[in-house]
Structure 1
Amino acid sequence: MGQVVLITGGTSGIGLSLAESFLNEGADVVVCGRSRTGLDRFDRAHPKALAVQADVTVPLARAALLDAVTERFGRLDVLVNNAGTFVERDFAGNDDATVALDQEVALNLTAPIHLTGEVVRRWPALDAIVFVTSGFALVSPTRAPTYGAVKAGLHGFADGLRRQLAPHGTHVLEVLPPTTDTPMNADAIGPKLPPAEVAEATLKALRQRRPMALPGQTKLLPTMLRIAPHTLGRMVAKL
């Protein structure tokens, strides 16, 4: 019997590539998203999977999502916290840089924490929890400092949670992709990693039960932070 995998934000970008990779490995996959159009498109392409419309920042929607997983499969083995948003904010400019800040923090940070807690309470024998953060969790981007802040927060949560759940056998994996070719980064300039490569690195790290997956150029980040932090800072200043 394959694993049951829930992926938030699973109808496009990295989430979609993860869903397709898990399906190819024989898993039963549940995705959620806010866009009915995206969910219908996913349904047509992957009729054996379950697509649920849910805003993970809303408590009742999260509960309904987990009820749908229970009704269809009776269990959950892997939770992938992938849903997120990238918001540019210029605190040196004349505009209000904190417009809709609460929504950004909710989607990128507090919602995955809440969902993780709710999942662990329902399924304490979970095999794995995955957090898709970003290379910007380690070095914050100049044009989006709050994005760096919330991803750094999720990085810290994953780190502590990993130690808490280790005695229970639950593997906690953090995935730190570089700028990836997704709808969220459609306007970004410079190189973009294909989302399929992020998915491949994620599944490999899950199989090897590693704490982190560092696809693409993010594999260099830990070393550069140790030996050349100022150079790295100058590089990120251009992002």
Structure 2
Amino acid sequence: MKQVVLITGGTSGIGLALAEAFLNQGSDVAVCGRSEIALDRFSRAHPQALAIQADVTSGEARTTMLNAVAERFGRLDVLVNNAGAFIERNFANGSDAMRDIEQEVALNLIAPIQLTGEALNRWPTMAAIVFVTSGFALVSPTRAPTYGAAKAGLHGFAEGLRRQLAPRGTHVLELLPPTVDTPMNANLTGKKMPPSEVAAVTLKALALRRPMALPGATKQLPLLLRIAPNAIKRMVSRM
């Protein structure tokens, strides 16, 4: 039986790469996004998939989105909480550090928790739930401390949820990507991992039922934080 997969923020970057990877393995895929232009582009490229315009921070929009998935496919097997935003904030310099902070936290932390709960209420025995966090969930970046805080919160939620859902057989996977070649990182220099490689590592981790998918540079991060935490923190302090 085909898996039915819903990916938030699935029209670009890591979300798009995951959507294409799931489609290539024969899954039924739904994606959501806020940009009508991006959704139209996705639909033209992947007419077999379902593209839904939705802001995941809106409860009404999440309900409409899950209704659309249920109407089209009848169920949901895999939920991928990918939508997010990286916002730089400097609390030591300037008065704009708090601007739109509620929206940032809502998108990066609250919405994926709410959507997960709402999806589980409808489909209590989903096969898998994926949370896209970041290496910054383990060591917060200097230039974006609220992003690090939100991703750390999502990391903690995934960890506890994994234990809660284990008796049901639902696999909870956390994806911690490194710097990836996405629109969000367009202005960054240095090495960037292709989104397709991140997607391949993620699908392998799902197949092997691993708790974490650690592509590229994040593969050694948990170990390095145990054996050389100060060196990692010095490195991140420059980010």
TM-score, normalised by the number of residues in structure 1: 0.99
Q: CA deviation at 1:96?
A: 2.2
Letter matched to residue 151 of structure 1: K
Matches within 5 A, 1:1-239: 1-239=1-239
Q: For 1:195 and 1:144, how far apart are their aligned partners in 2?
A: 22
Describe the superposition over 1:52-71 as per-residue Cα deviations: whole angstroms up to 9, x where unpaired: 00000000000000000010
Where structure 1 has 5 or more consecutive residues not aligned to the other structure, the ranges are none
Q: 2:190, 2:88 → 1: CA distance?
A: 17
- Secondary structure of 2:79 counterpart: strand
Cα deviation code 1:129-160 (max 9, x no counterpart): 00000000000101000000000000000000
Deviations along 1:75-120, one digit per CA (max 9) or x if unpaired, are 0000000000000001111232110000000000000000000000
Per-residue CA deviation, residues 21-55 of structure 1 (Å, 9 max, x unaligned), is: 00000000000000000000000000000000000
Query: What is the distance in 2 between the residues matched to 1:209 and 1:70?
Result: 25
**One-letter code aligned to 2:17:** S
Distance in 2, Cα, partners of 1:203 & 1:124:
22
Gaps of at least 5 residues in structure 2 are none
Measure how far apart 1:189 and its partner are: 2.3
Looking at structure 1, the residues matched to 76 and 64 of structure 2 have their Cα atoms a distance apart, in angstroms, of 14
Which one-letter code corresponds to 2:133 in the other structure? T
Give the secondary-structure state (helix, strand or coil) at the position aligned to 1:191. Answer: coil
- What is the letter of the counterpart of residue 212 of structure 2? M
With normalisation by structure 2, the TM-score equals 0.99
Structure 2 counterpart of 1:178, one-letter code:
P
Output the aligned Cα RMSD: 0.6
Give the letter aligned to residue 106 of structure 2: A
Three-state SS of the structure 1 residue aligned to 2:31 is strand
Task: State, as a whole percentage, how many aligned pairs show the same letter.
Answer: 73
Any idea what SS the aligned residue of 2:18 has?
A: helix
Tell me by how many angstroms 1:238 deviates: 1.0
Measure the CA separation in 1 of the matches of 2:117 and 2:191: 36
Gap change, CA 1:113 and 1:144, over 3 Å in 2: same
How far has the Cα of 1:190 moved from its partner?
2.0
* Distance apart, 1:225 and its partner CA: 0.4
Distance 2:113 2:131 in 1: 10
Provide the C-alpha distance between the structure 2 equivalents of 1:135 and 1:53, rounded to a whole number of angstroms. Answer: 29
The aligned amino acid for 2:169 is G
Query: Size of the alignment, in residue pairs?
Result: 239
CA distance in 2, matches of 1:36, 1:63: 19
Q: Which amino acid aligns with 1:199?
A: A
